[in-house]
Chain A
């Protein structure tokens, strides 16, 4: 996949109102990649939680900043995955009520989740479970609905 369909990037203000728009955009990207529905639902649930954490916790009492999300398609010989990073520049608040469910959603829906915190902020990296390569037919693009 050399075209830019394999790359997704958005930056949005750390405001809960933005999350629904963000999810719609992520869904469009995954639909464009013909991502299977089950894996698409999992990715939306998990990435949304990472963004929700960034929006909710990272800027409490501070200056509202941006959340930056970058998604990449990683295609192997027999399967493909997406790797999504969610980055904020706030101060991580470890203990804030319902975050337990957020982590469970991320871990339950993704192959791997890692969180890195440093002075610059927090980066959550989510790697999806592998999904099959898109079905290639002899008719090529003509077969795409």
Chain B
């Protein structure tokens, strides 16, 4: 991973997302956390762009997300597009009401394959 110092607003990558390999290395779990808004979304986008292409199965674990704004929604849709294009699959673990609600209100929830938890997302 590249050593990017604190981005604008003092937001560090580790404040926004942490990656974990799962299974035999064929799956990638991205634990996203905090508030994903216009400030943090570009950072998340850059990280996902770099890590997603290699994994046949990507699980976006949003259970640590406390706010999801339109910029964050755009990142999720871009991730989904990227994964679809390469014939891989992406699963979403929503967690909190605010995440589910943001996806629901925009009609985007139906685009995603949603799982109740990371374990379930990896096993199905």
Contact = CB atoms under 8 A, between A and B. Distances in A.
Interface string B24-63: 0000000000010111000000000000000000000000
Interface in B68-119: 68-71, 73-74, 97-98, 101-102, 104-108
A100 B71 CA distance: 10
Nearest to B102: A45
Grouping DSSP codes into helix (H, G, I), strand (E, B) and loop, the A interface class, with mixed when no group exceeds half, is helix
Interface in A75-115: 97-102, 104-105, 107-109
B51 to A, nearest CB: 22
Nearest to A49: B70
B19 interface: no
Contacts, number: 75
Contacts of A19: 37-39, 69
A20 B38 contact: no
A101 B106 contact: yes
A105 B39 contact: no
Given A37-B97, A44-B98, A49-B69, A55 B105 contact: no
A48 B67 CA distance: 10
B73 A98 contact: yes
Contacts of A17: 9, 39
By CB atoms of chain A within 10 A, which of B70, B98, B105, B108 has the most?
Answer: B70
B70 A101 contact: yes
A10 interface: no
B37 A98 contact: no
A104 B106 contact: yes
A16 B67 CA distance: 14
Closest 8 CB pairs of A and B: A108-B105, A101-B70, A102-B70, A104-B106, A98-B74, A16-B39, A17-B9, A101-B73
Interface of A: 16-17, 19-20, 23, 37-38, 41-42, 44-45, 48-49, 52, 55-56, 97-102, 104-105, 107-109
26 contacts: A16-B37, A16-B38, A16-B39, A19-B38, A23-B67, A38-B97, A38-B101, A41-B97, A42-B105, A44-B98, A45-B68, A45-B69, A45-B98, A48-B37, A48-B67, A52-B69, A98-B70, A98-B71, A99-B70, A101-B74, A101-B106, A102-B70, A105-B73, A105-B105, A105-B106, A108-B106
Given A23-B35, A55-B38, 15 more contacts: A16-B38, A19-B38, A19-B39, A20-B37, A38-B97, A44-B67, A44-B98, A45-B102, A48-B37, A52-B38, A98-B71, A99-B70, A108-B104, A108-B107, A109-B105
